[in-house]
Structure 1
């Protein structure tokens, strides 16, 4: 059995070589269908297997001809199997990588090097496996082969890191730190020395000549001016797409940087916003700005981390103490190499407790910056922070603090920068606090209750303090509003559902419809708190505001499902690829998205061979049912079609059920885009305790399809019973 399996694996390796060569030669003609794109995106997941396995195999190969190893049969067998497995995994990784490279946004020399070094590793590993038992394959050649494979792995990993994280990813922290220390503010250029480093750290990993997401490159000034697929970055009013995208909520799919990537800090966001609002200039010197200009003040502080005011006169904390204080929800790091000053970041609102601040007493003299963004910090917690005698920067954005708590910071003689964006602190509150904050140089107050007039008054009264209020709506040069969003956790409900709509910009009027028509700014209903849904409906919403262009329409499909069975069992086995949560899938209130193999598609259902889709549901108490619906996916290109026929059976016992309804779903036409749909039937109300649902996949795919004559796949993620 072992020999047969090994022989098969060897034949598979030969076939893989032929297939990879074929792909490399005909790559330009390669068109990757949607379902294969998902396979391609598994490339980063799988690539670690061949790396680890081949590294182990090459280490063993390097020492293979040592006397004690040549006579060791286990060593020889284990090495041979590791090399074979590593080669096969490498083949799969190369194929997936080539599929992935066909997606939009990949190109350039780095991709070319990554592709050919990766393919080279696979070919070399295959050759070693095939020739290693030849009489002329000796120790020297084995060592050279091992070194060549390890070198190839290193190069491939290097180019892959550059594709994923941007140019010079490995050495970027060292180079960035060196550059930051060497810039003189009197000679600095605003773009080159302030803005470009931010873009390099947070943006160019996805927007560079090698990886052009959205056809946008942010690595040079000319490409930035040119913009991308969605248009130019800067509008005539000097805001535009760039400004909008960085200010979107992190949960918004268009927010930049995307969720999961390293986000802009409060300072970086302010610097980028000020640069955009002042008219992006790629050649302007920092000293050409007024001395009181917010961009100049903040940039100067950024470029002078080691100015005279930051020559710390305290000793470093014990390294073991710092190590002990670091945990999953609190990080403590030096501001620079060999610096005694510490930066503290606290994460995860749900895990926050006062102890996380109290424990910092051990390093209270060394803390110069503290980030409590979005933590449930209250006024009493600021008493502890008031003991951090050398604190320079404090981020309290979106916390629960008030002016009363800020008074606890008056004794901090070095506190120069405070961020209170998103808090409830008002103008009168600040009037009572600011006189006590003697060292304060900048205060971030965007998204608070302060009006433009309040900000203007404070700026005149405290000319030594920069008030950063972010974007303020002036009504001039109108922008297009972002689409509205929903706050409801689920779009499936059983009885009455309070509709929850939101928009990130204050003062926006949301107008909606429930009948499928397009909402307008005159006739459509205005959304207010208290609007509820009692039946399934497509909710269409647009945002409007004086001085702005109306948003695009947002459509949210809500589904009523009044009854959930107490027990469910399948009548036929599911497709082995699309198991989801078995019978529980169809009543868990989770809807999938386009893409049969997309990880986000949580629940799917497919016919097997000639099986129909079928389940039996039972209710502990009788229910009156008059409507049943199925939510399914259509992707005609990959053979995923609606059900051909659906039957609904019901009764009081499993042996006493009758046909309540039999109906069909509309079929797609050639070239239709993938879509999620619902088909439902209404019938005379019937009291039942047992229900059977049978859906037959399309038995014969139409002649216009490339899979004509075959049985279609049926994917369902939810069933609605009312």
Structure 2
């Protein structure tokens, strides 16, 4: 709709300019009229569409003003020209002057539109790039952000996030603006399994409206995604040098390819893996990529703790001869998994930071005769186990900061000559915040009196918690000493405290009591195909969805109410129904305006047991959160329960999509 009318009108304008006389055989009136008509019609549609788009947030008023009105002028001039074409013969001087002026109008309007879409220097950026390429920064002086990350953002992101066009109120042209984030919050958060908005958005399906860059734009390559994710994992520093990283780090590999790095690459005596096998084993949560363009060596990175299983490591064994580096940071890797890792005899680098290993089976890794670097930071390994690393045949460097080792034990390790032990930064004057405690129970659905376990990687840390949804503090809240049992719906919140440190951010998790077994579920109203999950069994399959809207585990309703029957073969004495739902203000997912719980002996003899009217979000409400609605009523025997949840019909005036319908998403229902 945009480019076709530009081409049609330009062709017509050039044609008018070059035609010399009335008897010219090059002029075809019928074809010319058709060309002008098509261009005029589509230019009007394009101008109208552009006018509508200009009402969206994120455009700077001065930048869009001239493009908008030039677009409207082009459609009006072309319409006028078509209406008076019989009086404007192409071989007349007036026609040629009009055509020249019209072409100038098209060029200026189109160029301003290009500036809005691609940035102000989009036309000369290829020339600038080629000129700058000759003066690449030296490898040993290259900075990770300035010389690697920023060029990717400039090419793939900044066209929609600049001072003239700031989609989501996000601008990326300076480091300060990038760190500030947009209306959905900061761009990265290393406490989250998906590392925050920046990384999670690029991993969304291409058809998802929140996928970045949007469909139709040039997408980030796998290497660019891994580069940005690795930079975020390192702490998203703007001043860190590439040369400060170990040779097997994926950023080093990327830098060698882009900058022509001087870092010497090891020569490998094994052949390349089958590309089809590599492609088959690549998933959304496990990235496999070559060390460099011509190298047979492979690097592996794992993402998303919630989706990790030990089998994900074992599945890589067909590539054990080629994998030289594996990053399992923050994955729930246990001691038993080290036996499997020991089979990857080509490994040169293994990262086990903040995993669940205790060091009990660390000796299994001694079989890795090529292992040069091992990272155990944030684990609970003991001094004796770490000292045993000296017997590893090729190990040169080990990272052991934030472990259970005392300052004296760390000082002793620093004296080791065969291995360089990185023990981290220590200071008596610098106060740092603790990271949040870990709630070890992965499953949020509990049966009976389930034990709840928590831990923190830093020794001597005190964990305080609450079970009623209130905020834990450092004075009055109970101290966690050992696992404790819960037997009902419970909202656990916990924080870590230690002398000389700032208190941690809050860790929280809602635990659902499993309740009565629901024999069957019947959906009364049709679920929307965008959020169909596993159909009717979704709300009683015992699988709690992640907070992400597009996890594939939510049932979604927008045009219909959510209505469902829960059926029991034998009557159950119930007094409570719990619904698990989602709120994602940016994704149009709001609480229902009304929830009804009906019950009785069968579908035809139901009575209203409970009505809940949830509070609606306001502009300051946090964007994404799991919602739990408890409907309590007098205990009674029920064989059939009917649930009704009514979506919000119009989003509020403060919402960017005001007036549109909201979604209701539900994933689990529990009857107790």
TM above 0.5, yes or no, is: yes
Residue number in structure 1 paired with 2:375 = 420
TM superposition shift of 1:373: 1.7
Query: Which string of whole-angstrom CA distances, capped at 9 and with x for unpartnered residues, describes residues 600-646 of structure 1?
Result: 994555686xxx8654332334333222345678999x997865684
Offset, 1:90: 4.0
8 Å CA contact 1:446, 1:469 repeated in 2: yes
**How far is 1:542 from its partner?**
1.9
Which residue is equivalent to 2:388? 429
Q: Alignment partner of 2:501: what SS?
A: coil
In the alignment, which residue of structure 2 is the partner of 1:481? Answer: 434
Partner of 1:689: 639
Structure 2, unmatched stretches of 5+, are: 16-25, 91-95, 204-224, 303-311, 330-336
Residue matched to 2:82: 133
Paired residues of 2:467 and 2:491 also in contact (CA < 8 A): yes
Give 1:683 shift.
0.9
Other-structure match for 1:510: 463
Relative to structure 1, the CA distance from residue 77 to residue 487 in structure 2 (aligned partners, 3 Å threshold; closer, same or farther) is farther
| Contact 1:568/1:615, CA 8 A, preserved across alignment | yes
Aligned to 1:332: 290
Q: Can you list the C-alpha shifts for 1:31-77, whole angstroms capped at 9, x where unaligned?
A: xxxxxxxxxxxxxxxxxxxxxx5335544555566878954999888
Distance in 2, matches of 1:561 and 1:297, equals 48
Aligned to 2:515: 562
Matches for 1:694-713 after TM superposition, within 5 Å: none
In the other structure, the counterpart of 1:618 is 567
Tell me which residue corresponds to 2:576: 627
Aligned match of 2:2: 54
- Change in Cα spacing, 1:445 to 1:640, as seen in structure 2 (3 Å) is closer
The answer on 1:355 being equivalent to 2:318 is yes
Equivalent pair of 2:9/2:40 in contact (CA under 8 Å): no
TM-score normalised by length of structure 1: 0.57
Please list the CA deviations of residues 118-174 of structure 1 after superposition, one character each: whole Å capped at 9, or x if unmatched: 747854674576457341597966876776666455433322999xxxx98997799
**8 Å contact kept, 2:2–2:43:** yes
Rate the CA distance shift 1:77–1:384 in 2: closer, same or farther, 3 A. Answer: farther
In terms of fraction of residues, the more helix-rich structure is 1
Could you say which residue in structure 2 is the equivalent of 1:469?
423
For 1:429, what is the secondary structure of its paired residue?
Answer: helix
Q: Secondary structure at the match of 1:99?
A: coil
Distance 1:131 1:137, change over 3 A: farther
C-alpha deviation, 1:382, in angstroms = 4.9
DSSP-derived class of the 1:562 partner: coil
Written as runs of structure 1 = structure 2, the 5 A alignment for 1:323-722 is 327=279, 328=282, 329-332=287-290, 334=292, 344-347=298-301, 349=312, 352-358=315-321, 370-374=324-328, 378=340, 380-384=342-346, 394-398=348-352, 405=365, 409=369, 418-421=373-376, 426-433=385-392, 440=396, 443-446=398-401, 452-462=407-417, 466-471=420-425, 477-484=430-437, 486=439, 488-489=441-442, 491-493=444-446, 497-499=450-452, 501=454, 503=456, 505=458, 508-521=461-474, 524-527=477-480, 530-560=483-513, 562-563=515-516, 565-569=518-522, 587=540, 602-603=554-555, 605=557, 614-630=563-579, 646=596, 648-651=598-601, 653-655=602-604, 657-659=605-607, 661-663=609-611, 665=613, 676=627, 678-686=629-637, 688-693=638-643, 715=664, 717=666, 719-722=669-672
CA distance in 2, matches of 1:568, 1:605: 16
Q: How does 1:195-214 map to 2 (within 5 A)?
A: 196-197=146-147, 200=150
Shift of the 671–542 alpha-carbon distance from structure 1 to 2, 3 Å rule, reads same
SS in 1 for 2:431: coil
Are 1:251 and 1:259, in contact at CA under 8 Å, matched by a contact in 2? no
Root mean square deviation of aligned Cα: 6.4
Distance verdict in 2 for CA 1:518–1:150, change over 3 Å:
closer
Contact preservation (8 Å) 2:399, 2:421: yes
1:80–1:486 distance in 2 versus 1, CA, 3 Å: farther
**Distance verdict in 2 for CA 1:342–1:571, change over 3 Å:** closer
